[in-house]
């Protein structure tokens, strides 16, 4: 049968400047193996499949990379909401929705910011552990930097797991030329998705410059990474650094790989809950025969 399909660029209102996700609608009759086959064929970092809700949510999604299923991922969650609203799967007269996914029930909100609609998804709770000295030595060698972090780096998990390092300034982040084979090895040794680094922007409308490297997952550099940014927000919260950027801040990511993504993070100072948001635009709109 023919199923509606959209390829959505996330964290950008301008086509081809964000991070693409494939969204397949009308998926009630697809098996998990069908979904994995389609995701492998689509060959995007993630493809999502929209299903009827089972636990009281407004809709349910399953998220697949070309090789495995994920419980949560940031830009697929936002891209799916955009596609579902555009296709009429979700009513446009609401601004709050509940998404069912492998990480549970997550709140999603639509906010209008001038001419742009920004979509925010509540992230799963994060767990953190300090990075050990020997791990940090290997990470610095893999990143080919001597910009030693002033705050102990952490391994942070929200489903996907990232080694998070504060490198101080945006210029340090931008000039990195990491050794991908070494990043692969240390990622596997630490059992993490990859390495997310950030530095502070000066005189800009964004607070941070972010890069995320996940060659062990087949993604040498993620152009605009939702889960990596959530992990950085959790790191800032737990390390006492959030006040330096504010509990609602924006991030630039992707310029080093020809993109120009803009990510918004909101941290509830009372509960510690983190919301991830940004714009989205459809680049491909059609059907899959499957």
Give the active site residues. 46
Q: For residue 109, give both structure tokens.
A: 């909100």
* Residue 2 φ/ψ, nearest 5 degrees: -90, 130
Bridge partner list, 253: 210, 261
Question: Which residue's structure tokens are 């059992």?
Answer: 191
Nearest to 254, CA basis, from 12, 2, 32, 34? 12
- Gap between the Cα atoms of 74 and 135, Å rounded: 26
Q: For residue 17, give both structure tokens.
A: 């400047």
- Gap between the Cα atoms of 139 and 263, Å rounded: 25
Q: For residue 287, give both structure tokens.
A: 């059907």
For the beta carbon of residue 185, count every other beta carbon within 10 angstroms.
15
Q: For residue 117, give both structure tokens.
A: 């609609």
Q: What is the DSSP letter of 215?
A: G
Element (H, E) at 286: strand 280-289
Distances (CA, A) of 226 to 32, 157, 196, 200: 24, 12, 11, 18
Element (H, E) at 228: helix 226-239
Task: Using alpha carbons only, give the angle 22, 23, 29 rounded to the nearest 5 degrees.
Answer: 125
- Gap between the Cα atoms of 126 and 78, Å rounded: 19
């Amino acid at each position: 049968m023919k199923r509606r399909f959209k390829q959505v660029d996330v964290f950008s209102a301008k086509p081809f400047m964000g991070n693409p996700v494939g969204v397949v609608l009308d998926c009630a009759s697809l098996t998990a193996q069908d979904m994995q086959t389609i995701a492998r064929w689509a060959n995007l970092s993630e493809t999502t499949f929209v299903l009827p809700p089972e636990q009281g949510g407004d809709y349910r999604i399953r998220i697949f990379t070309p090789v495995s299923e994920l419980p949560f991922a940031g830009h697929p969650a936002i891209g799916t909401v955009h596609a579902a609203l555009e296709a009429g799967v979700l009513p446009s007269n609401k601004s709050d929705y509940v998404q069912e996914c492998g990480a549970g029930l997550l709140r999603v909100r639509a906010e209008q910011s001038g001419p742009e609609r920004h979509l925010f998804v509540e992230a799963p709770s994060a767990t953190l552990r300090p990075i050990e000295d020997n791990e940090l030595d290997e990470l610095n060698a893999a990143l080919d930097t001597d910009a030693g972090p002033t705050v102990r780096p952490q391994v942070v998990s929200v489903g996907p797991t990232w080694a998070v390092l504060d490198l101080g300034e945006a210029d340090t982040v931008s000039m990195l030329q990491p050794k991908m084979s070494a990043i692969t090895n240390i990622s596997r040794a630490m059992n993490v998705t990859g390495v997310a680094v950030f530095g502070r922007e000066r005189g800009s409308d964004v607070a941070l410059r972010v890069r995320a490297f996940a060659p062990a997952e087949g993604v040498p550099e993620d152009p605009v990474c939702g889960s990596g940014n959530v992990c950085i927000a959790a790191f800032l919260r737990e390390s006492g650094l959030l006040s330096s950027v504010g509990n609602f801040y924006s991030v630039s990511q992707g310029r080093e790989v020809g993109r120009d993504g803009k990510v918004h993070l909101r941290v509830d100072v009372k509960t510690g809950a983190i919301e991830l948001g940004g714009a989205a635009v459809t680049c491909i709109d059609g059907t899959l025969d499957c």
